[in-house]
Amino acid sequence: MHTLKRLMNVFSTVLEIDDETTIKNLEYNTIPKWDSVGHMQLIAAIETEFDILMETEQIIDMNCFDMACSILGDHGIDNITRK
Amino acid sequence: MNLDRILNHTAPALPQEEKDQLLFDGLKQLTEYHKSKCPGYRNILHAIKYAPEKCRSLEDIPFIPVNLFKRLELHSIQESGNIVNILASSSTTGQKPSQIFLDKETSKRQSLGLTRSLKFVIGDKRLPMLIIDAPSSIRTKPLTARGAGILGLMRFGHSHCFALDNDLNLDQEQLTRFLSEHSGQPFLIFGFTFMVWMYFLQKCPPEINLENGILIHSGGWKKMQEQAVSPSAFKKAFLNNTKLSKCFNFYGLVEQIGSIYLEGLDGFLYPPAFSDVIIRDPFTLEPLPYGQEGLVQLLSLLPLSYPGHSILTSDMGILHQGTHNKNTHGLEITRRAPKAEVRGCSDTHASKVG
């Protein structure tokens, strides 16, 4: 499956949101599901899906969907096309 | 703001004189910043007749007692929509908790501050992490100091496992599973001192092996004193019973989350580059020299969303010249100031007090 789609699925499952546009425009700590607890769940789910281990700074930096894409890029998972 | 420069320093490496200057400049700017953004803080400065032109050294930076955060909603966030979190110091009934208002920027500064400090003991890579607490500890709203502390530390770990159940009994099954998967390599253990001692070490099966563990613990020293457990007895018990040798205490308050004072080899608590301590006479509030006990004042460059950059705590302590690096100084917390309320991370389980 396409990387972007896989990442979208992770966000969608953890944050319980189906709408892709909503997810793309979301920011950390702006909805109850994506609080600091939700954030750790999201990190764990992304790490499992892509078999990576983020750095602590990347966990702090990952404040939106685009940032998550770029962090995946840093880990060599970069066949993501963004619009 | 000098924060970036300071954060990029490795904490103990900055000579005290240079650090004093950086802190002084930054804290003076922060005082002006909060004066302009927080009416309550502005009133306090007015009442104590703060005059910037007379503020010439670190010791002249105005300070406010931590208890004020219980009585007043002190924050410097202009639009309430920008508040991302409100931390509460204590959920004990009958006491009003401190309220610490955080925005995105301050949350990030706190996280980065903590990262810089903890890298010294954890290293660069995140480790499998055993949390000596209950899963429910991070679920309360608003988040308690205990929950916020755990969540802050969780970023340094992965494959998190809570070692206690929600009734604070040792979860043998979880513990065994975690150790069978991860104990062959370095792993992180975090918990509040009293809980680690009472609900974990006292209940651990005798054959447990934590040789590869790095234990980071904090808070609760007052209750440990009541149990007559000294820091060295704490370490010794872990070494003898579990083979764990890497054991680090740290001191920090919810009013200055992110600024932690990590225990050095000499047992003293060392401030990070962006924080420092002044000891003050409890009656005259004059600064005291090394070796004398007084009230602990904490300085930190991190707080932007609330005026907590210079606070007078209710803890008593002594400042010592660094044993290994004479250029630094380390803090020894001796006791709670008489008549101070029970508060902070140490009352993670306040019903046990008294």
Asked if B90 and B344 count as a contact pair (C-beta separation under 8 A), the reply is yes
pLDDT at A48: 95
DSSP string, B300-325: ES--SSSS-SEEEEEEEEEEEE-SS-
**Rounded to whole angstroms, how far apart are CA atoms B190 and B248?**
10
Query: Which residues of chain B lie closer than 8 angstroms to A29, CB-CB?
Result: 84-85, 104, 107
Which of B154, B185, B216 to mutate to test binding with chain A, by most A CBs within 10 Å of its CB? Answer: B154
pLDDT at A30: 85
Domains with residue ranges and CATH for chain A = 3-74 (1.10.1200.10)
Q: Which residue has the higher pLDDT, B201 or B347?
A: B201
Asked if B88 and B143 count as a contact pair (C-beta separation under 8 A), the reply is yes
The angle subtended at Cα B200 by Cα B146 and Cα B267, nearest 5°, is: 70
pLDDT digits (tens, 9 = 90+) for B89-115: 764 445 678 889 999 889 889 988 998
Task: Check if B82 contacts A (Cβ < 8 Å).
Answer: no
Enter the ipTM.
0.86
Query: Which residues of chain A lie closer than 8 angstroms to B156, CB-CB?
Result: 56
Q: Which residue has the higher pLDDT, A80 or A43?
A: A43
Buried b (16+ CB within 10 A) or exposed e, B218-241: bbbbbbbeeeebeeeebbebbeee
Buried b (16+ CB within 10 A) or exposed e, B316-351: bbbbbebeeeeebbbbbbeebbeebebbbbbbbbbe
The reply to whether residue B111 touches residue A60, judged by beta carbons under 8 angstroms, is yes
Given a cut of 80, whether residue B117 has pLDDT beyond it is: yes
Across the interface, of A29, A40, A60, the residue whose CB is closest to B112 is A60
- Chain A residue with minimal CA distance to B106? A60
Asked if B159 and B129 count as a contact pair (C-beta separation under 8 A), the reply is yes
**Rounded to whole angstroms, how far apart are CA atoms B19 and B276?**
9
Residue B74 to residues B98, B100, B120, B305, Cα–Cα distance (Å):
10, 8, 33, 9
The reply to whether residue A37 touches residue B139, judged by beta carbons under 8 angstroms, is yes
Instruction: Return the number of CB contacts < 8 Å for A and B.
Output: 39
pLDDT band at B143 (very low <50, low <70, confident <90, very high): confident
pTM beyond cutoff 0.90: no
Pairing of strands B213-218, B187-192: parallel
C-alpha distance from A83 to closest chain B C-alpha (Å)? 26
pLDDT digits (tens, 9 = 90+) for B318-339: 999 988 777 889 999 998 888 6
Pairing of strands B329-336, B310-321: antiparallel
C-alpha distance from B110 to closest chain A C-alpha (Å)? 10
- In this structure, chain B runs to a length of 354
The two structure tokens encoding residue B327: 């250029």
Domain boundaries, chain B: 3-109+253-345, 112-136+149-248
Across the interface, of B108, B124, B151, the residue whose CB is closest to A60 is B108
The two structure tokens encoding residue B89: 């110091």
> What average pLDDT does chain B have?
88
- Chain B residue with minimal CA distance to A34? B84
**Rounded to whole angstroms, how far apart are CA atoms A64 and A14?**
14
pLDDT at B3: 66
pLDDT at B194: 92
C-alpha distance from B117 to closest chain A C-alpha (Å)? 12
pLDDT band at B218 (very low <50, low <70, confident <90, very high): very high
The reply to whether residue A53 touches residue B125, judged by beta carbons under 8 angstroms, is yes
pLDDT at B228: 79
**Rounded to whole angstroms, how far apart are CA atoms B154 and A11?**
20
Query: Which residues of chain B lie closer than 8 angstroms to A64, CB-CB?
Result: none
Q: Which residue has the higher pLDDT, B71 or B161?
A: B161
Q: What is the mean pLDDT of residues A26-30?
A: 88
The reply to whether residue A60 touches residue B126, judged by beta carbons under 8 angstroms, is no
pLDDT digits (tens, 9 = 90+) for A56-80: 989 988 999 999 999 999 999 876 5
Given a cut of 70, whether residue B12 has pLDDT beyond it is: no
Which of A27, A36, A47, A67 to mutate to test binding with chain B, by most B CBs within 10 Å of its CB? Answer: A36
Q: What is the mean pLDDT of residues A8-28?
A: 94
The two structure tokens encoding residue A57: 């700074």
Task: Check if B155 contacts A (Cβ < 8 Å).
Answer: yes
Percent of chain B with pLDDT over 70: 90
Q: Which CATH class is domain B3-109+253-345?
A: alpha beta
